[in-house]
Amino acid sequence: MSLSQVKPSSLEQSVPIHFPHWRHRTYAILGLLIASGGVVAFATTVGSVQIPFSTVWRILLSQLPLVDIAPTWLSTTETIILEIRLPRVILAGLVGAALAIAGATYQGLFRNPLADPYLIGVAQGASLGAVIGFLLPLDWHGMGFGIVPLLAFTGALFSVAIVYNLARVGKTLPMTTLILAGVALGALWGSIVSYLIITSGEKMHGIIFWLMGSFSLSQWSEVKVVLPYVVVGVAIILLYARPLNVMHLDEEQAQQLGINVERLKLVLLAAATLITAAAVCFVGTIGFVGIIIPHAVRLVWGPDYRFLLPLSVLSGAIFLILADLVARTALAPTEIPIGVITAVCGAPFFLYLLRRKKRAVFF
């Protein structure tokens, strides 16, 4: 009897429907969604000025439509919450989400556990753009942001565009060529950046601080610029979760299972590159999030991209909000670059997850 001739009802009874652990992972998504809301509120509460948790909640809720709470707090308190802390927390969440999902996407496309969002030259291109921005004797501001993020964003996209065109062979894009071209061009940008830094004189401190990442100057105008890229990019990548699973086999099998491999690579590389460029252009090339968050999610909830991608988005957001919280409070009033915190706090946790498995890690 052919499989397709069997009545669906009789088939369903024969399946132990519980076992693909999907319900479990769906609860994990819901749980992290609630947790991320809590983390936003918590991170907004903590800071140099003591503001009670209840006041923070009431200020946040009063901003929602249809909620009417009479203000019992000082207007300066409201300004601290809404204009200083909240945009910073939201931007950290957006950047964490963007880097985590971009990392997961690159790891799937390249079938390489070492892939991260900066693999094919985004970070080095952004750094070069930013450094040039710092050194230019210009003080241009437009559309809510300055010359540094503009050149960082342009540099990131420009760099990947060059790598893409170098690696293309006819109508196909061999991924190994793409990685090698990205690494080589990244090294070239990196050495130019190093040279520019040592000759930058008094601007050196600002440049290095940018390269290690910081949310210290975050504003709503920056959130408004980053948000659309991240929302659209994440939505596109989530749409391709199942094809990414199939792509993880290898390109030949993916084609034989009906995937238009070249189009998939182009769409996903474009989406992941755009959200990475948008994420780093204001806050610098923050490391560690993009490579480790997807692996941590894999270790806990498995490699299925339909769950891996949304869980990475939420975990990345929560992780970077908390890392930024440590960065601004640990040595207050001094800010620690967030790139330092992500690895210092993240690496031990990840190593704990690795050891907990007690067997070889699969990818």
Binding site for other proteins (CB under 8 A): 1-4, 6, 8, 11-12, 14-17, 19-20, 111, 239-240, 242-243, 245-246, 248-250, 252-253, 255-260, 298, 302-304, 306, 360-363
Helical H runs in 199-219? 204-212
In angstroms, what is the minimal distance from the CB of 15 to other proteins? 4
User: Whole-number minimum distance, CB 104 to other proteins, in Å?
Assistant: 13
Least distance (Å) between residue 122 CB and other proteins: 25
The answer to whether the beta carbons of residues 159 and 125 sit under 8 Å apart is yes
Judged by CB, which is closer to other proteins: 217, or 257?
257
Nearer to other proteins among residue 127 and residue 245 (C-beta): 245
- Residue-wise DSSP of 249-281: T-HHHHHHTT--HHHHHHHHHHHHHHHHHHHHH
Minimum gap (Å) between residue 14 Cβ and other proteins: 7
198 class by beta-carbon count within 10 Å (0-12 exposed, 13-18 middle, 19+ buried): exposed
Q: How far is the CB of 303 from other proteins (least distance, A)?
A: 4
- Gap between the Cα atoms of 275 and 99, Å rounded: 8
Q: Which is nearer to other proteins, 65 or 258 (CB)?
A: 258
118 contacts: CB under 8 Å, gap ≥ 6: 124, 186, 276, 285, 287, 290
Q: Which is nearer to other proteins, 16 or 333 (CB)?
A: 16
200 closest CA partner among 155, 252, 136, 243? 136
- Reference 110, options 345, 236, 286, 294; nearest CA is 294
The pair of structure tokens assigned to 278 is 């948008």
Instruction: Report in angstroms how near the CB of residue 39 gets to other proteins at its nearest.
Output: 28
Of 159 and 245, nearer to other proteins (C-beta) is: 245
How many CB atoms neighbour CB 213 within 10 A?
Answer: 26
Cβ distance to other proteins smaller for residue 203 or 306: 306
Which residue's CB is nearer to other proteins, number 330 or number 354?
A: 354
Q: How far is the CB of 254 from other proteins (least distance, A)?
A: 9
Q: How far is the CB of 246 from other proteins (least distance, A)?
A: 5
CB contact burial 12-37 (16+ within 10 A = b; e otherwise): eeeeeeeeeeeeebeebeeebeeebe
C-beta separation of 134 from 206 below 8 A: yes
For tokens 């010359």, name the residue. Answer: 147
Place of tokens 């609630």: 34
